Amino acid sequence: MAHSVRRDAPELPDFSLLKRLARDQLIYLLEQLPGKKDLFIEADLMSPLDRIANVTTLKEHEVDKLYKVEHKSIVSTSDQLCFLIRPRIQTVKWICDVVNADKAVGKFRRYKVIFCPQKFYACETLLEEQGIIGDVTTDEWSFYLLPLDDDIISLELPEFFRDNFLEGDQRWVRTAGSALHLLHSLYGPFSKVYGIGRCSKMAYESWREQVKEGEQRVRQADIGNVFLIDRDVDLVTPLCSQVVYEGLVDDIFRIKCGCVEFGPDVTSSDKSMKVMLNSQDKVFNEIRNEHFSQVFGFLSQKARNLQTAYDKRSGMDIKQMKTFVSEELKGLKKEHRLLSLHIGASESMMKKKTKQDFQEMLKTEHSLLEGFEIRECISFIEEHINRQASMVESMRLLCLLSLTENGLLPKDYRSLKAQYLQSYGVDHLLTFSNLKQLGLLVEQQPGETLTVMESRVGKLVNDKTAGKLTDAFSSLAKKSNFRALSRRLNLVPKSDEEYDLRVPRDMAYIFSGAYIPLSCKLIEQVLERDGWTGLEEVTRMINGHEFAVTGSNGSDPRGRSDAQRIILVMFLGGCTYSEISALRFLGKEKGYKFVVVTTAITNSARVLESMLDNHA
C-alpha cells in the first residue's frame, strides 16, 4: 500500500513457458506407451500436475482411469499401467508388489514407471532385484520447475530439506543444478552468481558442469544475477510465526501448490472452497505482503468502495443500467466475491489466533530474538509444554530458544526434554535425536559457556565495551552465533524506537518490526557490495562456504541493464512466504525484481514435521 515504489523496476520474464515444456514432455512420455492405460499418480504430484495439465489432456493421450498411489493392492482392469511417481524406495517397493502379484496369478500387463523429476539408481536396482525389469520400463519426466506465481518458482521437493540437511544425502544436488541449468538456458545467460552454503556451492558446481557439457546458444539475458542460499544458513527465520497476510494464511490454512482450501468458517456457507492465491487475485495481490494489522483497514476501505460502486445503480436509467451490467457488474461481483472471501479468512484467523494466546507467543518469540528476559521465555515454553498445547509449537519455541541462545544449558535441556516427553510421548526421543543431529535443538557444550557469559555481559553493559568483549568471545565460540550475527547485521532494530507498520522502513516489518530475516539481509548486503567483501566476519560466523563468481559474459555489452536488476534467488531447502514478502519489499526499495526459486515453500510446521520420526 504505502510503500515507496521505484518506478524503474524491470519487467519479469514469462515463466509460463516452463509449464508448457513440462506438459509437452509428459505428453511425449505418455505416447511412448500407446493404447489405453490407467495412470497411477503419486499423491504429492497431483497438485503440481494440476497446474500444468488437466484430465482432458491426459484423456486425449489415452489415459483411461486415474488413481492416486496409496500403497494398497490395486483394482485396475487395464492391461497397461503407467505410474507417475517420485523416485522413492517405498513407492517402487509397492510397484514391485503390484507387478509380482500380477505375475503370481498369471496376469499379463505392460508397466511403465515415469520418475519425476529424475530416476535414482537405487530405485532401478530394486526393480532389478525384484526381477521385473523388462516387465517394467522406466522413464524420466524432467519436470523440475513449477511456476507458482509471477515471481515464485517451486521444485515442489519438500523432502529436499530432510534428505540434505538431516540425512546428509546429496541426491537432490544435481536436481537443483539441472533446474538452474534449465533456467539458465531459457532466461540466461547469467552473468553473476553469488551463493552461501555447502549445498549451494555443490549445486553451482553441478550446474556449471552441465553448462560445460552442453552448448549455450547466445540470447539476450532476461535474468542477470543469481543468488544461491542454503536453508541451514538461516534456520531462525522459518521458525518465526508469520504475521504477513500470505504467510499467516500459509501457517493457518496451509497453502498447497499456490492453492488454499478455505473451510465453511471462512466461506460462510456449508461448503469448503479451493482458491488459487496469486497475483491474478486482485484483492489478495494488494494485501499479501502486508502486515496482518494493516489488512483490516484495507479490506474495510475496499468494502466501502464496493458499496459506492454498487450504489451508482440507484438513479440510473435503463440505458445506463444496461451499460453498467455489461461493463462493470461482472468485475464488481468478482471483487465482491474475493473481498468477502478474504474478510472471512481474516476473521477466522483472528479467532484462531486469539484462542491460542498468540499475543504471548509473539512476545516470547520477540524476546528470544532480542535476547531479552530469557528466563521468562523458558517458563513460558515450559508451561506451553505442561499444558500439552500444540506439540509442533512447543518444539518450535524450543528450537528458537536453542538457535538464538547458542544451545540450551544442560540443566534446562534435560528438564525441558523430560517434560516434553511426558506431555507428547516418549517416542519423541527420536525427534530430539534428529533435532540434535541437524543442530536445531542442542545442549551447550562445556566449552561454549563463554557465549553464555558473553550474552550476560551483553545484557549488563549495553555499550561499545560490550561490543568489543563480544567480538573477543565470539571469535572463540564455534556455532550458531545468532546474537553476534544479529548485532553485526543489525537484524533486531533498536527497541527504543516505535515501528510504524503502515510505512515500513525496512524488511523487519514482516515480523512486526522485531527482526530482519537473516537470509534476506545477507542477500541485500551482497547485492549492495557486489560480493562478500566486508562481510568476512559474518560468513565466518555462519561457517558459510560463500562464493561470488562472474561468468565470461559478465561484461557482455549486449547484456540488458534490466536483466542485471532481475535477481534469481534460489533457496535450497525451502523458503517462507514471509521471506518472499521481504524480498518484494527490498526489490521495491532498490529497484530490483526478485524471482524466488525454492525447493518448496516452507514454514515452521513443515520444517519441524519433517523432523518427526515417531510414526510407523
Interface of this chain with other proteins, residues 303 to 342, rule: CB under 8 A: 303-304, 306-307, 310, 330, 333-334, 336-341
Q: Is the Cβ of residue 180 or residue 473 nearer to other proteins in the bound state? A: 180
Distances (CA, A) of 551 to 10, 68, 235: 22, 45, 30
**Residues in 353-412 at the binding interface with other proteins, rule: CB under 8 A:** 353-354, 358-359, 362-363, 366, 382-383, 386-388
Binding other proteins (rule: CB under 8 A), the pick from 106, 375, 498, 555 is 498
Q: Binding of other proteins at residue 276 (CB under 8 A)?
A: yes
- Pseudo-torsion of CA 256, 259, 263, 267, nearest 10°? 160
Total residues contacting other proteins by CB under 8 A comes to: 154
* 139: enclosing H helix or E strand: strand 136-140
From CA 341, how far away is CA 344, in angstroms rounded? Answer: 5
CA distance 285 to 358: 25
Q: At what angle do helices 358-370 and 391-405 cross, to 10 degrees?
A: 20
- Which of residues 9, 12, 430, 469 is near other proteins by CB under 8 A? 430
Provide the minimum distance between the beta carbon of 472 and other proteins in the complex, in angstroms, as a whole number. Answer: 27
Is residue 421 involved in binding other proteins (CB under 8 A)? yes
With H, G, I as helix, E, B as strand and everything else as coil, classify residue 394: helix
* Binding-site member from 35, 263, 264, 425 for other proteins (CB under 8 A): 425
- Which CB sits closer to other proteins, 427 or 528? 427
Q: Which of 241, 294, 394, 402 binds other proteins (CB under 8 A)?
A: 294
Segment contacting other proteins (CB under 8 A): 98-106, 423-431, 457-465, 601-609?
423-431
Closest distance of CB 308 from other proteins, Å: 11
**φ, ψ at 321 (rounded to 5°):** -60, -40
Binding flag, residue 429, other proteins (CB under 8 A): yes
Residues from 28 through 87 that contact other proteins (CB under 8 A): 28-29, 32, 47, 50-51, 54-57, 60, 66
| Residue 497 sits in the site that holds other proteins (CB under 8 A) | yes
Binding other proteins (rule: CB under 8 A), the pick from 254, 414, 468, 505 is: 414
Query: Which is it for the CA torsion 537, 542, 545, 546, positive or negative?
Result: negative
Q: Could you say which of 422, 445, 465, 490 contacts other proteins (CB under 8 A)?
A: 422
Name the residue among 159, 245, 232 with its Cα closest to residue 199.
Answer: 232
User: What phi, psi does 581 have (nearest 5°)?
Assistant: -60, -40
Applying CB under 8 A, does 539 fall inside the site for other proteins? no
Position of cell 456457507?
269
Give Cα 88 to chain centroid, integer Å.
21
**With binding defined as CB under 8 A, does residue 5 bind other proteins?**
no
Query: How far is residue 199's CA from residue 81's CA, in Å, rounded to a whole number?
Result: 37
Closest CB to other proteins among residues 217, 319: 217
Among residues 7, 75, 105, 168, the one that binds other proteins under rule CB under 8 A: 168
> In whole angstroms, what is the distance from residue 290 CA to residue 298 CA?
10
* Shortest Å, Cβ 282 to other proteins: 10
**Residue 24 in contact with other proteins, rule: CB under 8 A:** yes
| HEC string for 40-98 | EECHHHHHHHHHHCCHHHHHHCCEEEEEECCCCCCCCCCCEEEEEECCCHHHHHHHHHH
Only segment of 314-322, 419-427, 460-468, 475-483 that touches other proteins (CB under 8 A) = 419-427
Q: Is residue 493 near other proteins by the rule CB under 8 A?
A: yes
Q: Which stretch binds other proteins (CB under 8 A): 105-113, 203-211, 401-409, 448-456?
A: 203-211
CB of 161 to other proteins, least distance (A): 14
Report, in Å, the least distance between residue 431 CB and other proteins: 11
Grid coordinates representing 230 are 542454503
Establish if 552 lies at the interface with other proteins (CB under 8 A). yes
- Nearer to other proteins by Cβ, of 387 and 456: the residue is 387
Q: Given phi > 0 = left and psi -120 to 50 = alpha, else beta, which region is 315?
A: left
At CA 542, angle to CA 369 and CA 246, rounded to 5? Answer: 50
Residue (of 532, 602, 578, 604) closest to 246 by Cα position? 578
> Are 151 and 288 contacting, i.e. CB atoms less than 8 angstroms apart?
no
Element (H, E) at 548: strand 547-550
Within a 13 Å sphere around the CA of 514, how many CA atoms are in the beta-carbon half? 20
Q: Which of 502, 505, 529, 540 is close enough to bind other proteins by CB under 8 A?
A: 502
Distance in Å, CB of 451 to other proteins, minimum: 23
Residue 203: enclosing H or E segment and its boundaries? helix 198-213
Measured from the CB atom, is 141 or 571 closer to other proteins?
A: 141
Judged by CB under 8 A, which of 76, 170, 285, 543 binds other proteins?
170
Site for other proteins contains 599 (CB under 8 A): no
Least distance to other proteins from the beta carbon of 105, Å?
Answer: 26
Q: Which stretch binds other proteins (CB under 8 A): 5-13, 183-191, 229-237, 467-475?
A: 183-191
Q: Which is nearer to other proteins, 36 or 68 (CB)?
A: 68
Pairing mode of beta strands 547-550, 192-196: antiparallel
